[in-house]
Amino acid sequence: MGRIYSFHDASGTLTPSLGIKAQSISGATVNGTSVDLASKAGAYFAVTVGNVTDPTNATWTVFLQEGAEAAANFTNVNTTTYPEATIAASNTANTVAELHYTGGAGRQRYVRAVATTVANAALMSVVNVAY
């Protein structure tokens, strides 16, 4: 078994936070909490979807928004340029999906996940991890 060196210590570089608490979202949009990317390289978002009521008629999606402020003036991340910033509409239950945002020139300081559902309910949550 190999030794794990100090530069492999993820606890010093990863900052997890709750983006969207587990909840049933029905025909609505829920904005997640923002991630501050000051002194961070980017953020990873783990999306979990549990039960989907009537998956034949229901869809859910999650996408990223960015902004210069922590709580206001967010705009959708350009998903043509950054396809990893959205999850296409789905009706799949009991799944995990992921989104990714890399900071840098032209990118905003704050980023958040936004979950939406059409028609029926989906049990969803999002965990943010800044790195």
Which token pair is 89?
A: 């509409």
Q: Please report where in the chains the tokens 């009991």 appear, as a residue.
A: 94
Instruction: Judge whether 2 lies within some domain.
Output: no
Say yes or no to pLDDT of 8 above 60.
no
**C-alpha distances out from residue 104 to 37, 71, 74, Å:** 10, 20, 17
Instruction: Judge whether 9 lies within some domain.
Output: no
Say yes or no to pLDDT of 1 above 60.
no
Please choose, from the candidates 109, 68, 63, 105, the residue with its C-alpha nearest in 3D space to the C-alpha of residue 85. 63
Instruction: Judge whether 117 lies within some domain.
Output: yes
Quote the domain boundaries for residue 34. Answer: 14-130
φ, ψ of residue 84 to 5 degrees: the values are: -75, 5
Q: Please report where in the chains the tokens 């009521």 appear, as a residue.
A: 53
Instruction: Judge whether 4 lies within some domain.
Output: no
pLDDT digits (tens, 9 = 90+) for 10-32: 556 889 999 999 999 998 999 99
pLDDT digits (tens, 9 = 90+) for 59-89: 899 999 999 999 889 999 999 989 999 999 9
Cβ proximity of 35 and 85 under 8 Å: no
CATH number at residue 27: 2.60.120.1110
Interval 83-101 mean pLDDT:
94
Instruction: Judge whether 122 lies within some domain.
Output: yes
Instruction: Judge whether 61 lies within some domain.
Output: yes
Instruction: Judge whether 34 lies within some domain.
Output: yes
Average pLDDT over the chain, rounded to whole?
89
Instruction: Judge whether 7 lies within some domain.
Output: no
- Structurally, the chain folds into a number of domains equal to 1
Band of pLDDT at residue 119, cut at 50, 70 and 90: confident
Assessment of whether the complete model's pTM goes beyond 0.95: no
